[in-house]
Structure 1
Amino acid sequence: MAISKHFTSKKLSALLIFMFAANGSLFDAQAEQTSVMPLHYVADKAISSNPEVQQAWHAFKASMYGIDAARSGYLPTVDVSASTGYEKRNYGIESDYSRNTAELSLGQMLYDGFRTSNTVKRFESIQLIRYFELLDQAEKTALAASIAYLDVQKFTELVELAENNLKEHESVYQQIEQSVGAGVARAADLEQISGRLSLAQSNVMTEYANLHDVSARYLRIIGELPVQGTVKAQLSDDAIPISINQALDIAYKNSPNFYASLYNIEAQKANADSQKSAFQPNVDLSARYGFQDRDELGLNESRSEARIGIDVRYNLYNGGLDSANLDQAYQEVNVAKYQRDQTCVDIRQNLQVAYNNVQVLQNKIPSLAKHKESSSKVKYAYKDQFDIGQRTLLDVLDAENESFQSNRAYTAALYDRQSAILSMLAEMGKLLETLNVKSDKFPLLSELTDDPIALNADSICPKFDVAATIGRQAFLQKKKQQDNAYMTVTAMPNYLTIPVTPPANTFVDDDNDGIANETDECPSTPAFTEVDEKGCTKYRSNTSSVEIGIPFLADSSVVRPEYMQEIARLADFLKQHPNKNVEIQGHASLEGSVQYNRKLSEKRAFSVAEILIQQYGISPNRVSSLGYGVDQPRINEISVRANAANRRIEAVITESGSQSTAMQSGWS
């Protein structure tokens, strides 16, 4: 099915196309209106006027006419020819006369080796390529516009910081100048503050130059100058996937660039099939009727002639042209496949970088905030101490500069993280949806084709977590040693940190489940959990809630191999009871950032749910995951024992159909 070509450019004012039904909204309606409203405006404004988007739009419209041209092969051809003229000769009865002829002919293709049908398929695929290229360009333009907006706001704030820093230096300069004039301070101090004052002035000019450049970029992309005092944009962390693998899954299912590469393969396959028609006969129905007022001898005798019949043409040899065309078409299919592979690895790299930038900046921001706060306190303390002669001028100037640089780094990090989130969403094909840029009048994918491509992203684009293979975890080793103190208490086996060899004939049961360590296949079963003879959780048909004993390492959501047995037992229970669903719930201790603990509990719950689905074959619609963070502590305090009790994974089991919508949407 192809869409009608009668579109107007007014329908391009906004370009969000929901290519597939979303599993859940990234933002609720109220959050969208308050947090992404300015980004919605600049993205919509840029898309409606950006030349590259307009170019992609008209390329899409042109592809519609290509389908019409290909379909003309199914329809008959009707031709009429007529002539009139004066003729003169030196033979025959009449030496000069006027002659008139006319002919009407009709042709209808009956069989052409499926050339026409495959050509139509090719142009339908080309239309879908142009469609996804249009969406991809819209995503890129929205990204560029949004980042330009954030950059203008960022450098506006940095200009303000630089100007405040300059005012501080001017104030100190005036104080030193008065002191030198009074003979209290040394002339060298005045030279020193003069140099620092010049540097502060240079910083202001640098920030103004940066603001000028990003404003010029804003004007180029959006088509208007930025307005001062605009609303700050704030993207919700709900837009961030729980893991890089989930982000890659979303990208392969939604990326317009990736789907354009897939339909390019289909177009080249259809072209190869159309080239095969050269090895088939062509069968056409033909009919014609002709009239002339003189015969071949020039005699004034009217004649008419009519014919209808079937014409068959079969080429036997044309110098190898058809074979060469077919071989070339097959190679074009291979080219398209490698282009798809290149698109795959580009998405994987760009998304890995953007996702990691979001995480790294999130981890840096608390440290930068602390540095900013400490630098500000030091600055004011040094000023007070300088006034009473306990600090040198150099100390004061260094503290002032460090405070300025810490404020600048913190402000830049906040905006850079927003830009990284936007880049991540664009790579996933979710930016326009997040910014709520859409138009119901613009065609949906279902209007263009009745048979969209169903892909297996795992086989086409393997997923790799780069961050898990580099040395970032080593950097967190010290933090891990501190955070893992809870593993030494109830339900946490001692040998996680120090291997212990029990004395002979001594019964050792680290998790207190009544099963000795040497025969315990589930070495971290929580206390008071009913276990079987192997030390693993015992499930009954009426089991409704079970805590799964999985001690995670600090800042990690990876389930280690020695704790997979508990997940396997849960999977066996679900397979034996196909009418049961499960929600994996993650909980965290009260220690640390509330937001960080919520995200970490989500990641850990998601990891367990992902194992149930991918490794043990439990249907995704039976498994959901949700991170509660610090919302449901067992012990409402911060201590080693409370932390151990509150850091947990629970499996809540329900009958099919009894889960709430919110639960079912947890797996997305």
Structure 2
Amino acid sequence: MGRKKNGLTAIAAAMGISATLAQAQSQAPVGLDTVTDFKSAVTQGVLTNPRVVSQWYNFEATREAERGARGGYLPSVDLYSEWGREERETPLIDLGDYSRDATRFTITQMLFDGFATRDQVASLGYAKLSRYYDFKRASEEIALEAAVAYLDTVKFQNLVKFAEDNYIVHKNVYDKIEERTGGGVSQGVDLEQAAARVALAESNLVTEITNLHDVMTRFHRVVGSLPGENLAMPSVPAGEIPELRETALEMAYQRSPVINAAIENLRSSQESLNATNAPMMPRLDLRYRNEVEHDTDGIDGRFDEEAIEVVVSYNLFRGGSDSARKREYYNLYNAAIEERKQACLNVRQEVTIAFNDVEALERQVEVLQRNLIAQDKTRRAYRDQFDIGQRTLLDLLDSQNEYFDTQRAHTSAVTDLAAAQARTLANMGLLLAAMDMDGLNAEKIAELDLDFSRDGDDENAQALCPQGAPLPASVDRDALFARLNASADPAASAASAAALAGLAAGSDRYRTVGEDMVSLEVDVQFEFNSSVISSAYDDEIARAAEALRDNAGIRATVEGHTDSSGEDNYNQWLSERRANAVRDMLINEHGISADQLVAIGRGEGSPIASNATAEGRARNRRVELVLDVAQ
């Protein structure tokens, strides 16, 4: 007995360490602010994250580059001054050495440069817009990262609470079993089983605390501050998401900063390619020149010269550099075309996946919410029945674990749904707008009055994204079941097949359910809204396992069933859980090969009794083994 107490003491000590760790993780270090609401987390991330700020500086740098290129339209004003000693000797006279100086003042106005300045200004103007969309992309991405970090923190804060509650329940059960064991009511093996379950609950708690620490660290990196305690579940503005995926894609093609940045980069590449024609054309300048020199050519005195002139220059050969540069920019232009295509493909993929996740998770949350309520009722009923000796330890702990798993699944689905909604909006370029946030330097951007207009006849200014998207995934259960039946193990022996086929004749446990198909009725029934297998059915499952071991070459399908209570989607989900519960027990506790068993749910569609009575509904909450004897 002392040995058991030592084990429990170790568990309790570990629990104390875990509680201390949880408290430490939930408190911010002194001097660091915490963020306590969803919008503040997203806003702070967008305004302070280095990725966003660096993209702003890239945008500003390109704006200055455009200003520099526009300088090519304005005159160039230059002043030259020189002084030196010269020595001059001609066939007629030796002037000796002397000092001279000269000052030149010129104003040069470009009249024609092969359109180089025009094309360079246009290229940098589009590059400026591309950097702007890169800045917007970084803002949307950081907003999404901050939103997901907040949601993950909410999730794991709740999961830690669930794990703590789960541990407490297991500890209370352990205490009750310990009292019964001391009084001779329960067996020692029950106490060992309870201690093992407490240890598992402790392990789950430590795991959740570690996960919470990890997401808090990510939150700190993205947002710049630590999250507060007990964060509230936020509401993502999902009303901005269209009902149809085609509409969502069309909006994404128009609003996505990823696609718009690729379009402006392509337009910039086109203008840069055009600029490579300039070196192959003459250059024409208008120049005013005023020169003042002293002692020029050894002749004492001041020399003044003033002129207005037109200067023409035309390069005839530069070693093939201009042609090579033109080919270089042509390849860069083609690369920009492919980058635009890739941007469309990426956005289509991300929006389609996120949109499908939203639809799937909405259904999943609805089902899990109903299941959570049902599991809580079952858990409470089992606890009351355990106290009066009508339920075993395993029944009680199994119901608690199933409730704990459903809590975790429901919370994960709720936060995952919000994250999918945020991801859909971000990929459409609408997350900041949907949250009524302006982003970094919004007022300054408004003052710039950027020109986002595009020529409708210019293909380079269009997204040209492919239409259509993959259809949402769906499961045809009847077709799946037919395919599973068709894949029977060809190695099944003729003797096993014949033996099973003969079982259906005159048997109340085996019945023919189709050509070469025999159903083995497994007398395992479930409580209402539950997939927990009562220990009262251990012998029945053992007999089913024996039948499977005797016919190892036969493929078996575990079919779960429900009564008609509840909606179709929920009953389908519950029947699948019942089938998997039996399959897992056959594999884990009776050594049946996983390759021999497939689990599917039949929902409420195959009753064997009337659902009009309580007895009939109880019979319909069952599982069956369907054995394929086809050769």
Q: Matches of residues 229-268 of structure 1 in structure 2 within 5 Å?
A: 229-268=230-269
Name the aligned partner's letter for residue 255 of structure 1: S
From the superposition, tell whether residues 427 and 476 of structure 1 become closer, same or farther in structure 2 (CA, over 3 Å). farther
Q: Matches of residues 464-475 of structure 1 in structure 2 within 5 Å?
A: 464-468=468-472, 470=473, 472=474, 474-475=476-477
- The reply to whether residue 410 of structure 1 matches residue 414 of structure 2 is no
From the superposition, tell whether residues 114 and 475 of structure 1 become closer, same or farther in structure 2 (CA, over 3 Å). farther
Deviations 1:444-499 (A, max 9, x none): 4981116346599998112323135x4x0625999xxxxxxxxxxxxxxxxxxxxx
- Give the superposition deviation at 1:129: 0.3
Which stretch shows the higher mean deviation, 194-203 or 316-325? Answer: 316-325
From the superposition, tell whether residues 322 and 366 of structure 1 become closer, same or farther in structure 2 (CA, over 3 Å). same
Equivalent pair of 2:154/2:230 in contact (CA under 8 Å): no
Separation of aligned partners in 1, 2:452 and 2:263:
16
- Give the superposition deviation at 1:38: 3.4
- The reply to whether residue 424 of structure 1 matches residue 428 of structure 2 is no
Name the aligned partner's letter for residue 63 of structure 2: M
Q: Matches of residues 351-390 of structure 1 in structure 2 within 5 Å?
A: 351-390=351-390
Residue 438 of structure 1: aligned partner: 438
Give me the TM-score of the superposition, normalised by structure 1: 0.63
From the superposition, tell whether residues 453 and 418 of structure 1 become closer, same or farther in structure 2 (CA, over 3 Å). farther
Query: Could you say what secondary structure the match of 1:448 adopts?
Result: coil
Residue 401 of structure 2: aligned partner: 401
From the superposition, tell whether residues 102 and 442 of structure 1 become closer, same or farther in structure 2 (CA, over 3 Å). closer
Separation of aligned partners in 1, 2:246 and 2:478:
22
Name the aligned partner's letter for residue 311 of structure 1: V
Name the aligned partner's letter for residue 65 of structure 1: E
- Give the superposition deviation at 1:105: 1.6
- Give the superposition deviation at 1:423: 0.4
Q: Matches of residues 562-577 of structure 1 in structure 2 within 5 Å?
A: none
Deviations 1:548-596 (A, max 9, x none): xxxxxxxxxxxxxxxxxxxxxxxxxxxxxxxxxxxxxxxxxxx989xxx
Residue 106 of structure 2: aligned partner: 105
Give me the TM-score of the superposition, normalised by structure 2: 0.66
Q: Matches of residues 193-208 of structure 1 in structure 2 within 5 Å?
A: 193-208=194-209
Give the CA RMSD over aligned residues.
Answer: 2.6
Separation of aligned partners in 1, 2:110 and 2:209:
70
Q: Matches of residues 262-411 of structure 1 in structure 2 within 5 Å?
A: 262-296=263-297, 298-411=298-411
Q: Which has the higher helix share?
A: 2
Equivalent pair of 1:250/1:428 in contact (CA under 8 Å): yes
Query: Could you say what secondary structure the match of 2:276 adopts?
Result: helix
Query: Could you say what secondary structure the match of 2:227 adopts?
Result: coil
Separation of aligned partners in 1, 2:107 and 2:357:
66
Name the aligned partner's letter for residue 61 of structure 2: A
Q: Matches of residues 143-182 of structure 1 in structure 2 within 5 Å?
A: 143-182=144-183
Equivalent pair of 1:112/1:277 in contact (CA under 8 Å): yes
Residue 529 of structure 1: aligned partner: none
From the superposition, tell whether residues 438 and 290 of structure 1 become closer, same or farther in structure 2 (CA, over 3 Å). same
Equivalent pair of 2:253/2:463 in contact (CA under 8 Å): no
Residue 645 of structure 1: aligned partner: none
Name the aligned partner's letter for residue 463 of structure 1: Q
Equivalent pair of 2:111/2:285 in contact (CA under 8 Å): yes
Residue 629 of structure 1: aligned partner: none
From the superposition, tell whether residues 196 and 39 of structure 1 become closer, same or farther in structure 2 (CA, over 3 Å). same
Equivalent pair of 2:237/2:434 in contact (CA under 8 Å): no
Query: Could you say what secondary structure the match of 1:232 adopts?
Result: coil
From the superposition, tell whether residues 78 and 397 of structure 1 become closer, same or farther in structure 2 (CA, over 3 Å). same
Residue 538 of structure 2: aligned partner: none
Equivalent pair of 1:106/1:288 in contact (CA under 8 Å): yes
What are structure 1's unaligned runs of at least 5 residues? 1-36, 479-590, 594-668
Residue 77 of structure 2: aligned partner: 78
Equivalent pair of 2:100/2:296 in contact (CA under 8 Å): no
Equivalent pair of 1:356/1:467 in contact (CA under 8 Å): no
Equivalent pair of 2:237/2:435 in contact (CA under 8 Å): no
- Give the superposition deviation at 1:372: 1.6
Equivalent pair of 2:365/2:410 in contact (CA under 8 Å): yes
Name the aligned partner's letter for residue 45 of structure 1: Q
Separation of aligned partners in 2, 1:73 and 1:51:
34
Name the aligned partner's letter for residue 209 of structure 1: T
Separation of aligned partners in 2, 1:248 and 1:66:
34
Structure index of larger Rg: 2
Separation of aligned partners in 2, 1:453 and 1:252:
17
Separation of aligned partners in 1, 2:479 and 2:414:
26
Name the aligned partner's letter for residue 465 of structure 1: A
Equivalent pair of 1:43/1:437 in contact (CA under 8 Å): no
- Give the superposition deviation at 1:371: 2.1
- Give the superposition deviation at 1:74: 0.6
Q: Matches of residues 600-615 of structure 1 in structure 2 within 5 Å?
A: none
Residue 53 of structure 1: aligned partner: 52
From the superposition, tell whether residues 305 and 445 of structure 1 become closer, same or farther in structure 2 (CA, over 3 Å). closer
From the superposition, tell whether residues 473 and 78 of structure 1 become closer, same or farther in structure 2 (CA, over 3 Å). same
Residue 450 of structure 2: aligned partner: 448
Separation of aligned partners in 1, 2:462 and 2:325:
34
- Give the superposition deviation at 1:97: 4.3
Separation of aligned partners in 2, 1:459 and 1:48:
29
Deviations 1:501-542 (A, max 9, x none): xxxxxxxxxxxxxxxxxxxxxxxxxxxxxxxxxxxxxxxxxx
Deviations 1:299-337 (A, max 9, x none): 422222223211112223333322222222222211111
Separation of aligned partners in 2, 1:45 and 1:170:
42
Deviations 1:195-225 (A, max 9, x none): 1001101111111111101111111111111
From the superposition, tell whether residues 438 and 217 of structure 1 become closer, same or farther in structure 2 (CA, over 3 Å). same
Separation of aligned partners in 1, 2:108 and 2:88:
36
Query: Could you say what secondary structure the match of 1:460 adopts?
Result: coil
Separation of aligned partners in 2, 1:444 and 1:592:
53
Separation of aligned partners in 2, 1:187 and 1:341:
69
- Give the superposition deviation at 1:250: 0.9
From the superposition, tell whether residues 477 and 414 of structure 1 become closer, same or farther in structure 2 (CA, over 3 Å). farther
Separation of aligned partners in 2, 1:383 and 1:244:
47
Residue 119 of structure 2: aligned partner: 118
From the superposition, tell whether residues 475 and 137 of structure 1 become closer, same or farther in structure 2 (CA, over 3 Å). farther
From the superposition, tell whether residues 357 and 453 of structure 1 become closer, same or farther in structure 2 (CA, over 3 Å). farther
What are structure 2's unaligned runs of at least 5 residues? 1-35, 481-565, 569-631
Query: Could you say what secondary structure the match of 1:467 adopts?
Result: coil
Residue 128 of structure 2: aligned partner: 127
Separation of aligned partners in 2, 1:235 and 1:284:
61
Query: Could you say what secondary structure the match of 2:277 adopts?
Result: helix
- Give the superposition deviation at 1:239: 2.8
- Give the superposition deviation at 1:94: 6.9
Equivalent pair of 1:40/1:436 in contact (CA under 8 Å): no
Identity of aligned residues (%): 34
Separation of aligned partners in 1, 2:306 and 2:230:
81
Deviations 1:631-668 (A, max 9, x none): xxxxxxxxxxxxxxxxxxxxxxxxxxxxxxxxxxxxxx
**Aligned residues, how many?**
442
Separation of aligned partners in 2, 1:474 and 1:75:
71
Deviations 1:15-67 (A, max 9, x none): xxxxxxxxxxxxxxxxxxxxxx9332112111111101110000000011111
Separation of aligned partners in 1, 2:89 and 2:244:
94
Residue 461 of structure 1: aligned partner: 465
